[in-house]
C-alpha cells in the first residue's frame, strides 16, 4: 500500500519500521491517511483531438470528461493527467483543477505560413510515400505525453485518429483502456491495443462483443452522467415569454421539442413529416434546436431540405443553442421527440429533457431503449409505418394532459439517477477494479 506525505510517496509500511520504531511509524501512517488518504491511482485520460478540455467549445465526450474532472475536485479518488488539444481559452481554466495535471498538445496552425508549407509537404508525402507527416507528428506528441505522465492506467475517451500500437508497447496492454462512447462493431485491432473497455450502455457492450473477438468480462458498463443542476432549475419570470416572443409562438400553443444535430441519421425529416399529419398540429408548435455539426449552424443540403419541408407549418428552427440555455427551452415544452434512425449508444439529450419533467418519444434504437420505458415515454418501432406511428404518439401526448404529466413526473424521478456524481463514482469503481486486476 502506498501513502502520500507532503506530496511525496511513503512506500510500504515495512520501510518505515526499518527506519524508525513501529509506534512512530503507525502515527506517521495515520497522519498520511488523514491528510492525503491512500495512494491515488494515477490515471491518464486521453481526450479526443477535436475539441479541448475543459469543454469551452462543447463536444459531448469533452463535457463528460469535464464532469469527471469537476467531481474529482470534490471526491478526490483519482490522480488525473489529462492529455487534450491545446486551446488558449481552455488553458486559462487549468488552474481550477487542482487534482488534474494537463498535458496540452500544441500543433502548428494550419492557417499560418508554416502550417501552409507543412500541408503542401504532407500532401506530397501522402501521395508518394503513403506517409502522413502531420498525423505522425501528432502521434509522437501524444507518445511523449503518455511517457511523461507515468500513470497506472491510460484511458482513451472514444475513437481517436491518433490510435497507435506504440502506446500499448510503451505502457503495456494491461494498462490500456478504451471508453466506447458510441456503437462499434467488434474490432480486432483494438483487441490487440486495449486490455479493457468501458461501454456507455449494455447495447454498446453487446454489439462490441457479439462475435467473440473480445470477451464480455473485458467490457464494463458505465452509463453517462449529466450535470443535473444545469437542467433541474427554475426558469426566471419572463424568460419563457421572451423565447416565445422571439420565435412568434403564441402563449396558448403546446410545444414539442427536438434537440440535437440536424443530420439525416437523427430522423429530423421524419419528425417533420409526422408533425405535418398530426391531428393537433394547429394548436402546437414544433421547436427544432440544433445545427449541422456542433455549434455550426450550416446550410447543408439536408438542412435546406427540412426547412423547405417545414414551410407553412408551425415549425421553428432555433439553430445551435448554448448548453447553458437548453433548460429554458425544455421547460417551455410539453414533451420531447428523439426519432433517431441510428443505433444510438445512449442518449444524453433524453436525460436532459427528462430532468425538465417532460416525457419523451423515441425510436426503438440502440441504448435509448435502456433509459426509456412505458412509464417515462413512448418508444416507436422503426419500420415502414414509423412516420404514421410517430404522428399518432405525438397526438396521444398532445391530447392527454394527465398521461403527459404523469410520464413527465416519472421521467424526472428516473433521470435523477444519471447525475455526474454517480457517473464519477461508477467510473472510479471500474478504474479501481481494472487497476486491482492489473496489480494482482
pLDDT in tens, 245-255: 999 999 999 99
* pLDDT at residue 387 is higher than 90: yes
Mean pLDDT of 117-142: 78
- Pick the range with the lowest mean pLDDT from 22-36, 273-287, 417-431: 22-36
Instruction: Report which of 356, 346, 297 is spatially closest to residue 321, judged by C-alpha positions.
Output: 297
* pLDDT at residue 131 is higher than 90: no
Q: What is the pLDDT of residues 39-86, one digit of tens each?
A: 789 999 999 988 999 999 888 899 999 999 999 999 999 999 999 999
pLDDT value of position 14: 34
Mean pLDDT of 169-187: 94
Alpha carbon distance 60, 349 (integer Å): 10
pLDDT value of position 324: 87
What value does the mean pLDDT of the chain take? 88
What percentage of residues in the chain have a pLDDT greater than 90?
73
Rounded (5°) CA angle 256-262-265: 100
Instruction: Report which of 402, 361, 387, 384 is spatially closest to residue 278, judged by C-alpha positions.
Output: 387
Alpha carbon distance 148, 153 (integer Å): 13
* pLDDT at residue 294 is higher than 70: no
pLDDT value of position 27: 53
Residues contacting residue 404 through CB under 8 Å, at least 6 positions apart: 334, 335, 358, 359, 397, 398
Q: What is the pLDDT of residues 389-403, one digit of tens each?
A: 999 999 999 999 999
Residues of the chain with CATH 3.40.50.2000: 41-225+420-439, 228-415
pLDDT value of position 323: 83
Q: Which SS3 state, helix, strand or coil, does residue 326 take?
A: helix
pLDDT value of position 356: 94
266 CB neighbour count, 10 Å cutoff:
21
| Level-2 CATH architecture, domain 41-225+420-439 | 3-Layer(aba) Sandwich (3.40)
Q: Given pLDDT bands bounded at 50, 70 and 90, which one contains residue 38?
A: low
Four-point Cα dihedral 155, 159, 165, 167, nearest 10: -30
The count of residues in the chain is 440
CATH of 228-415, picked from 3.40.50.2000, 3.90.440.10, 3.40.50.720, 3.30.870.10, is 3.40.50.2000
Tally the C-alpha atoms within 13 A of residue 270's C-alpha that lie toward its C-beta. 23
Identify the sign of the CA torsion 57, 62, 68, 73.
negative
Q: pTM to 2 decimals?
A: 0.84
Q: Which SS3 state, helix, strand or coil, does residue 325 take?
A: coil
Alpha carbon distance 132, 275 (integer Å): 48
Select the more confidently predicted residue: 237 or 298: 237
pLDDT value of position 227: 92
Q: Which residues pair with 103 in a beta bridge?
A: 83
Q: What is the pLDDT of residues 146-173, one digit of tens each?
A: 999 999 999 999 988 889 999 999 999 9
Alpha carbon distance 55, 264 (integer Å): 26
pLDDT value of position 161: 84
pLDDT value of position 376: 98
Contact 359, 407 (CB under 8 A): yes
Select the more confidently predicted residue: 286 or 113: 286
Q: Which SS3 state, helix, strand or coil, does residue 91 take?
A: helix
Cell numbers given for 254: 403546446
Contact 333, 255 (CB under 8 A): yes
pLDDT value of position 119: 75
Mean pLDDT of 3-18: 38
Q: Which SS3 state, helix, strand or coil, does residue 338 take?
A: strand
Q: Given pLDDT bands bounded at 50, 70 and 90, which one contains residue 440?
A: low
Per-residue b or e along 323-351, where b marks 16 or more CB atoms closer than 10 Å to that residue's CB:
beebbbbbbbbbbbbbbbbbebbbbbbbb
Instruction: Report which of 70, 8, 23 is spatially closest to residue 230, judged by C-alpha positions.
Output: 70
pLDDT value of position 187: 87
Select the more confidently predicted residue: 270 or 295: 270
Instruction: Report which of 350, 385, 388 is spatially closest to residue 369, judged by C-alpha positions.
Output: 350
pLDDT value of position 194: 97
Q: Which SS3 state, helix, strand or coil, does residue 193 take?
A: helix
Q: Which residues pair with 83 in a beta bridge?
A: 46, 103
3-state helix, strand, coil in the chain (%, to 5): 45, 20, 35
Amino acid at each position: 500500500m502506498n501513502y502520500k506525505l507532503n506530496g511525496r510517496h511513503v512506500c510500504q509500511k515495512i520501510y518505515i519500521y526499518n527506519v524508525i520504531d513501529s509506534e512512530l511509524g503507525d502515527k506517521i501512517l495515520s497522519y498520511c491517511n488523514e491528510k492525503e488518504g491512500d495512494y491515488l491511482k494515477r490515471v491518464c485520460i486521453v481526450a479526443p483531438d477535436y475539441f479541448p478540455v475543459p469543454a469551452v467549445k462543447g463536444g459531448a465526450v469533452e463535457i463528460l470528461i469535464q464532469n469527471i474532472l469537476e467531481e474529482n475536485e470534490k471526491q478526490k479518488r483519482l490522480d488525473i493527467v489529462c492529455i487534450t488539444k491545446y486551446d488558449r481559452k481552455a488553458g486559462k481554466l487549468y488552474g481550477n483543477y487542482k487534482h488534474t495535471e494537463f498535458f496540452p498538445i500544441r500543433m502548428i496552425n494550419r492557417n499560418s505560413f508554416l502550417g501552409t508549407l507543412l500541408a503542401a509537404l504532407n500532401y506530397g508525402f501522402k501521395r508518394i510515400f503513403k506517409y502522413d507527416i502531420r498525423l505522425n507528428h501528432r502521434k509522437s506528441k501524444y507518445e511523449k505525453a503518455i511517457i511523461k505522465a507515468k500513470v497506472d492506467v491510460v484511458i482513451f475517451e472514444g475513437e481517436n485518429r491518433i490510435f497507435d500500437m506504440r502506446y500499448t508497447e510503451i505502457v503495456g496492454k494491461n494498462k490500456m483502456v478504451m471508453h466506447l462512447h458510441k456503437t462499434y462493431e467488434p474490432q480486432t485491432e483494438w483487441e490487440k491495443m486495449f486490455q479493457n473497455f468501458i461501454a456507455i450502455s449494455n447495447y454498446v457492450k453487446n454489439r462490441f462483443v457479439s462475435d467473440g473477438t473480445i470477451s464480455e468480462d473485458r467490457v464494463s458498463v458505465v452509463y453517462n452522467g449529466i450535470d443535473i443542476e444545469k437542467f433541474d432549475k427554475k426558469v426566471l419570470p419572463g424568460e419563457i415569454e421572451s423565447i416565445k416572443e422571439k420565435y412568434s409562438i403564441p402563449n396558448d400553443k403546446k410545444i414539442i421539442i427536438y434537440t440535437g444535430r440536424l443530420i439525416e441519421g437523427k430522423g429530423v425529416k421524419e419528425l417533420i413529416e409526422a408533425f405535418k399529419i398530426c391531428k393537433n398540429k394547429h394548436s402546437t408548435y414544433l421547436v427544432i434546436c440544433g445545427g449541422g455539426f456542433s455549434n455550426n449552424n450550416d446550410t447543408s443540403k439536408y438542412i435546406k431540405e427540412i426547412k423547405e419541408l417545414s414551410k407553412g407549418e408551425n415549425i421553428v428552427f432555433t439553430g445551435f443553442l448554448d448548453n447553458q440555455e437548453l433548460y429554458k427551452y425544455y421547460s417551455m415544452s410539453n414533451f420531447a421527440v428523439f426519432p433517431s434512425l441510428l443505433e444510438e449508444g445512449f442518449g444524453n439529450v433524453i436525460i436532459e429533457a427528462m430532468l425538465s419533467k417532460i416525457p419523451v418519444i423515441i425510436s426503438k434504437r440502440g441504448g435509448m431503449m435502456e433509459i426509456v420505458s412505458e412509464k417515462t415515454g413512448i418508444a416507436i418501432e422503426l419500420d415502414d409505418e414509423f412516420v404514421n406511428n410517430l404522428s399518432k404518439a405525438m397526438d396521444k401526448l398532445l391530447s392527454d394532459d394527465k398521461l403527459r404529466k404523469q410520464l413527465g413526473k416519472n421521467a424526472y424521478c428516473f433521470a435523477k439517477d444519471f447525475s455526474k456524481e454517480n457517473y464519477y463514482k461508477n467510473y472510479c469503481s471500474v478504474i479501481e477494479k481494472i487497476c486491482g486486476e492489473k496489480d494482482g
